Amino acid sequence: MLLRSRGVVAGLAAAAAFVTGVVGCGQHQDSCYGPTNKVEHVRHVKRMQPGAPGAAYGPKGPLEWGQVNFLHTTDTHGWLEGHLKEQNYGADWGDFVSFSRRMKHTARSMGVDLLLVDTGDLHDGNGVSDATTPDGTKSMPIFSEIDYDLLTIGNHELYVTEVAYQMFNEYARKWGDRYVTSNVKVLNQTTGQYEYVGATHRYFTTAKGLRIMAFGVLFDFTGNSNASQVLKAKDMVKESWFADALASKQPVDMFVLFGHNPVRQTDRASTFQTVVDAIRRAHAKTPVQIFGGHSHIRDFSVYDDASVAIESGRYCETLGWVSVSGFDASNSGFRGVVPNPRGVRNPSRPARPGSRSPFVYSRRYLDWNRKTFIYHSRVGGGEGEFDYHSGERVTGDIGKVRDELRLGDVYGCAPQDWCISCAPFTDKKKNIFPGVIFPAVSAVVLNKTRADRSRMILGNTGAIRFDLHKGPFTYDDNFIVAPFRDVFLYIPDVPFDKASKVIDQLNKGPVSKRRDLVSMPVPEDECTNPTLGYMSRRDIREERGVVRRQEAVVPGYVTKDDWGTDGDDTEHSEIPNYTIPPYWEARASFPKDGSNPDKVDLIFFDFIKTKVLNDLGAGYTDDMVQCYVNCSFSSQDFMLPYAKLAWQENKDNCPVV
Ligand SMILES: [Zn+2]
Ligand SMILES: [Zn+2]
């Protein structure tokens, strides 16, 4: 179903196949958006999820291929469909299947190695992963279609017990020793023992003979359910298996240290330095190649002359590229066939000026779109030669899942864009909090028996995960904006003077509060690199995502890292980025005359209950807290009713331009 086409004739066949694919979504085609779009769009958009916009502006130059090369994904959070409303990131997981296979093929023909690495957080952020119970039931088989060489676990695999068991019982077995979880154990329900989810480490030899020792290290996460245990990095490096791995007589040409763990040493969540120090005590000069994640940014950080680290963004917006050369018999014993592949550019940059190490590197952050994938796979015939059947099949599978889960069902027509951080937190016109979230929770989060009471609603900004785009607001968008199931709790009749102080205390709390965010179900995930373009991006898109080809720099990542500003594969114009507070407050049913009520119902996510009670102080205890609407109504349940309430205009003919 939803076959990819290789030419006009095949395209018609694909269109015919597509008709049957439409059935699952809504009663009328007009009420669907995304892959189940109108048939004529299949003709225009031959690949990706139909309806997803193509990139207008492409890579600035070919990649530098070295003796060993890496493609890195992280924090995909279920975005396997790609970004249906954003042209920079329109490719889907099927396109990535084709691209990764093409790149492996290219590496083989050059006589060099290419390794695929993922660093976790596979759920919470998109309907494909989150509209099932448990999360990931439909998305994980699709994610697993990539032939990764190394995978490791993220904190989002450990919040929900069923998800932790899913990883332990299914995917750890499926991925075998390629799944490396050096400091994470999950309860084996059969034996009653906590056991490593995957391998503690992996020693392997690449196709070209490079000997690699890999460790997969999650940051010191503490917000996990009791189905798992996370060893702190400082304790992990004292484990006997770790000491044995470093003392092994087997030759190691390169250490790969990868983990759901920020690469920036100054990020308080990062524990990579602890592990690098431990490796360096035993191996002073062996290259340590680092791959990180969790903070959702593009970043590249130099640890020492022979150790560099890349972090590759989030949400299938970025594919990270690193290449390394310099291995030879004198420095590592490696006797691979080529010092450098010919006919292409090679890595040439030492980790830092004055390096005494023989190793040289390149790094690049690729935009996640077909234009990029086709350019770098160097297929002469372009579009027509790019796709593999396996990639096309995966694209079809994603379309089927979207149909089954009815992710394209339209609930309203959002009249404009609203962003999380491209405008000040107080900007009602552009910022999603005053523009959408406050009116939505004020209108929808309501216990009818207490409708006459003034109320204040508190939440953490991290619960809102993505910007809201102009156009059809679908079932999928509900998960994209608010994927978590944080139940609304409340304390009735709190004196206004007390309740109104809580928001400031939450936001101005002790510095350690910021650190606490790391271990919350909504981790910090703060973006120092805003990724979304606004307004100007719309200019180059036609209705329903079909793109007019034109070469123009569009808003997106403008990355500054330890090597400067030349890491982005595609040039973007910078998007403003404003700091937003960790918590928000909305008010409803306040006196019409503008005065303050004596008392309010104080409503908040279950997730911040302890903090709210702390800030209310003496006299406020757990037993005063009740469910507000009911004990299942959560942060996943207010956006769809709000779309039905506020955005019905043009619903059946909703423009995205
Ligand atoms: Zn993440
Ligand atoms: Zn994370």
- Mean pLDDT, consecutive 10-residue stretches, the chain (657 aa), reads 31 32 34 41 49 80 97 98 92 98 96 97 96 96 98 96 96 98 97 98 97 98 95 98 97 98 97 98 97 97 98 98 96 87 96 97 97 90 89 98 97 96 96 98 97 97 94 96 95 98 88 33 31 27 33 86 96 92 97 97 96 95 98 97 97 83
As to burial, measured by CB atoms within 10 angstroms (0-12 exposed, 13-18 middle, 19+ buried), residue 305 is middle
Q: How far is CA 650 from the centre of its chain?
A: 31
Centre of ligand 1 to C-alpha 114, Å, is 25
Residue pair 210/67 in contact (Cβ under 8 Å)? The answer is yes
Please tell me the predicted confidence (pLDDT) of residue 480.
97
Ligand nearest to the CA of 123: 1
Q: How far is the CA of 219 from the centre of ligand 2 (A)?
A: 9
Q: Which ligand is nearest to the CA of 157?
A: 2
**Residue 9 φ/ψ, nearest 5 degrees:** -65, -50
pLDDT of residue 33: 60
Nearest residue to 216 via CA among 178, 159, 267: 178
Q: Which ligand is nearest to the CA of 74?
A: 1
Q: What is the model's pLDDT at position 545?
A: 33
* Residue 260 CA, ligand 2 centroid: distance in Å: 6
* 154 alpha carbon – ligand 1 mean position (Å): 7
Ligand positioned closest to the Cα atom of 296: 1
What spacing in Å lies between the alpha carbon of 262 and ligand 1's midpoint?
10
Q: Closest ligand to 218 CA?
A: 2
Query: What separation in Å is there between the alpha carbon of 314 and the centre of ligand 1?
Result: 7
Q: CA-CA distance, 407 to 474, in Å (whole number)?
A: 7
Q: Which residues of 633-650 are buried (b: 16+ CB within 10 A; e: fewer)?
A: bbbbbbbbbbbeebbeee
Coil, strand or helix at 446: coil
Question: Please, what's the b/e burial string for 1-28 (b: 16 or more CB within 10 A of its CB; e: otherwise)?
Answer: ebbbbbeeeebeebbeebeebbebbbee
CA of 357 to the centre of ligand 2 (A): 33
Q: Cα–Cα distance between 42 and 55 in angstroms, integer?
A: 17
pLDDT value of position 519: 30
Residue 462 Cα to ligand 2 midpoint, Å, equals 12
Enter the DSSP assignment of 419. Answer: B
From the CA of 75, the nearest ligand is: 1
pLDDT at residue number 87 = 84
* Distance from Cα 407 to the centre of ligand 1, integer Å: 22
CB atoms within 10 A of CB 325: 24
What is the CA(617)–ligand 2 centre distance, in A? 31
Nearest CA to 445 among 590, 596, 616, 604? 604
Ligand 2 centroid – CA 245 distance (Å): 27
**Model's pTM, two decimal places?**
0.87
Distance 161 CA to ligand 1 centre (A): 18
Between the CA of 295 and the centroid of ligand 1 the distance, in Å, is 7
* Length reported for the chain: 657
Give the pLDDT of residue 34: 55
DSSP character string of 150-190: EE---GGGTSSHHHHHHIIIIIHHHHGGGBB-TTEEEEETT
82 Cα: distance to centroid of ligand 1 (angstroms) = 16
Residue 78 CA to ligand 2 center (angstroms) comes to 13
Q: Which bound ligand lies closest to the C-alpha atom of 155?
A: 2
How far, in Å, from the CA of 421 to the mean position of ligand 2? 19
pLDDT at 50: 81
Residue 585 tokens read as 């407050």
Find the 217 Cα to ligand 2 centroid distance in Å: 12
- Report CA(121)–ligand 1 centroid distance (Å): 5
What spacing in Å lies between the alpha carbon of 16 and ligand 1's midpoint? 38
192: Cβ contacts below 8 Å, ≥ 6 apart: none
204-to-148, 244, 279, 350, 449 alpha-carbon distances in Å: 14, 16, 17, 26, 64
Check if the beta carbon of residue 72 is closer than 8 Å to that of residue 120. no
Cα(315) to centroid(ligand 1), Å:
8
Distance (Å) from CA 75 to ligand 2 centroid = 7
Distance 76 CA to ligand 2 centre (A): 10
For residues 528 and 353, what is the distance between their CA atoms, to the nearest angstrom? 26
Q: Which value, to the nearest 10 degrees, does the dihedral of the CA atoms of residues 258, 262, 264, 270 take?
A: -90
What's the gap in Å between 464 CA and the centre of ligand 1?
13
Residue type, 394: V
User: What are the Cα distances from residue 631, in Å, to 490, 624, 646?
Assistant: 11, 15, 25
- Cα–Cα distances in Å, from 519 out to 91, 157, 182, 421? 31, 13, 19, 22
Percent of the residues in the chain that have a pLDDT greater than 70, as a whole number: 86
Question: DSSP characters for 452-500?
Answer: TS-EEEEEEGGG--S-B-SEEEEHHHHHHH-----BEEEEEEEEHHHHH
Give the separation between CA 60 and CA 8, rounded to whole angstroms.
Answer: 30
At 562 the three-state DSSP class reads coil
The Å distance, Cα 440 to ligand 1 centre, comes to 25
Q: Which residue has the tokens 């929808």?
A: 444
Sheet strands side by side (includes 184-188): 193-196, 184-188, 228-230
CA of 352 to the centre of ligand 2 (A): 29
How many Å lie between the centroid of ligand 2 and the Cα of residue 509? 23
- What is the 609 CA–ligand 1 centroid distance (Å)? 23
CB atoms within 10 A of CB 571: 15
Measured in Å, residue 639 CA sits from the centre of ligand 1 at 22
CB under 5 Å of ion ligand 1: residues? 75, 121
Ligand nearest to the CA of 316: 1
Residue 30 pLDDT? 40
- Which is nearest to 149 in space by CA: 308, 252, 256? 256
Per the rule left: phi > 0, alpha: psi between -120 and 50, beta: everything else, 111 is left
CA of 132 from ligand 2 middle (Å) equals: 20
- Model confidence pLDDT, tens digit, residues 98-141: 999 999 999 999 999 999 999 999 999 999 999 999 999 999 99
Residue 533's pLDDT is: 27
User: At 208, which amino acid appears?
Assistant: K
Ligand 1 centroid–CA 313 distance in Å is 9
CA of 363 to the centre of ligand 1 (A): 21
Q: In angstroms, what is the span from residue 499 Cα to ligand 1's centroid?
A: 32
Report the separation in Å between the CA atom of 648 and the middle of ligand 1, taken as the mean of its atom positions: 33
Distance between CA atoms of 629 and 605, rounded to whole angstroms?
12
Q: What are the tens digits of pLDDT across the range 65-107?
A: 999 999 999 999 999 999 998 889 999 999 999 999 999 999 9
State residue 291 phi and psi, 5-degree precision: -130, 125
d(CA 632, CA 425): 29
Cα(218) to ligand 2 centroid in Å equals 9
Ligand nearest to the CA of 269: 2
Residue 432 near residue 496 (C-beta atoms within 8 A): no
Find the angle CA(610)-CA(612)-CA(617) to the nearest 5 degrees: 95
Q: State the pLDDT at residue 551.
A: 55
Could you identify the residue written with the tokens 């084709």? 98
**Sheet holding 113-118: strands in order across?**
150-151, 113-118, 68-73, 318-325, 360-367, 349-350
Distance 219 CA to ligand 1 centre (A): 12
Cα 260 to middle of ligand 1, angstroms: 8
Distance from the CA of 483 to the center of ligand 1, in angstroms? 12
CA of 415 to the centre of ligand 2 (A): 32
Q: Measure Cα distances from 125 to 2, 139, 298, 421, 530 in Å.
A: 24, 12, 18, 17, 17
Strands 471-474 and 410-414: antiparallel
Identify which ligand lies nearest to the alpha carbon of 312.
1
> From CA 321, how far away is CA 202, in angstroms rounded?
21
